[in-house]
């Protein structure tokens, strides 16, 4: 955020650990765009201003009464007047990225100490168990959309299911969803990825949504590795830059303003 005497008109509403929030803040900062940074979990004016806009979802960027979801960077670029054009990986490569990241998340879930599954992320009401489960739910929600269930914000906000209690449960859930995703790919790899995806945050093609799924779960998998490291556990075969090649990943793992500690 640029510190000026005149408060910038642009406002970015976010919360710690949110992948799209972080990516948008980094995008605006990288392009020298001044903005007011509002952590809605720490600043009570955040939700009040969102209510005045008539919306309740985050992440969000607002300019006056105009607002866009941070989930689509080209919309953020449009509202601030930045030229934005980038190539999206072909579906086959996106499938490979999702596969590799899911495999890593399953490995890391197996390493989570049972005594710490209920511990909470810093400055965010999400447990380590819920973080791991969220990674798998991201992919599950993608397949759901392709089978006729539009993506809602609630699909990304669900805690771990009641039957997912232990690290072994997380591993079983991850393997089941990975198998479901693989079966979906086998049946749909030659389908129409240019069609509009039914998602709550704006206009995206299925290919765009698949990319968003890949980097979204990738960012949270990075956070899961950070959880292990903070617990003194070395991640089993940690994911590296090559696993995220071609994906529009944030630079930071958790946040650019609030440290994990």
* Residue 221 phi, psi dihedral angles, 5° rounding: -65, -35
How many other CB atoms sit within 10 Å of the CB of residue 56? 10
State the pLDDT at residue 1. Answer: 47
State the pLDDT at residue 2. Answer: 46
Architecture in CATH for domain 10-80: 3-Layer(aba) Sandwich (3.40)
* Residue 92 phi, psi dihedral angles, 5° rounding: -60, -40
Which class for 31: exposed (0-12), middle (13-18), buried (19 or more C-beta within 10 A)? middle
Lowest model confidence (mean pLDDT) among 57-71, 140-154, 167-181, 201-215: 57-71
**Model confidence pLDDT, tens digit, residues 199-245:** 998 889 999 999 999 999 999 999 999 999 999 999 999 999 999 99
Instruction: Classify domain 91-244 by CATH number.
Output: 1.20.120.450
Average pLDDT of 249-260? 92
Domain ranges of the chain: 10-80, 91-244
Contacts of 171 (CB under 8 A, 6+ apart): 106, 109, 110
pLDDT band at residue 27 under the 50/70/90 scheme? very high
**Cα Rg of the chain (Å, integer):** 18
Mean pLDDT of the chain: 93
């Amino acid at each position: 955020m640029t510190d000026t005497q005149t408060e910038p008109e642009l406002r970015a509403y976010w919360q710690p650990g949110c992948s799209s929030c972080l990516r948008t803040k980094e995008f605006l900062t990288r392009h020298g765009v001044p903005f007011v940074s509002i952590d809605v979990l720490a600043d009570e004016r955040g939700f009040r201003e969102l209510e005045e806009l008539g919306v309740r979802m985050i992440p969000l960027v607002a300019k006056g009464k105009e607002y866009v979801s941070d989930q689509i960077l080209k919309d953020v670029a449009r509202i601030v007047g930045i030229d934005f054009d980038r190539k999206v990986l072909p579906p086959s490569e996106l499938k490979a990225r999702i596969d590799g990241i899911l495999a890593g998340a399953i490995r890391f879930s197996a390493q989570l100490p049972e005594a710490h599954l209920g511990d909470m992320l810093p400055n965010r009401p999400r447990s380590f168990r819920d973080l791991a489960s969220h990674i798998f739910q991201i992919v599950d929600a993608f397949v759901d959309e392709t089978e006729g269930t539009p993506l809602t914000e609630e699909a990304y906000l669900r805690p771990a299911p009641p039957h997912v209690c232990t690290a072994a449960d997380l591993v079983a859930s991850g393997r089941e969803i990975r198998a479901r995703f693989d079966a979906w790919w086998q049946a749909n790899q030659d389908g129409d990825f240019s069609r509009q995806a039914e998602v709550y945050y704006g206009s995206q093609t299925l290919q765009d949504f698949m990319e968003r799924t890949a980097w979204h779960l990738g960012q949270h998998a990075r956070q899961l590795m950070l959880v292990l490291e903070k617990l003194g556990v070395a991640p089993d075969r940690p994911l590296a830059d090559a696993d995220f090649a071609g994906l529009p990943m944030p630079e930071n793992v958790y946040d650019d303003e609030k440290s994990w500690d």
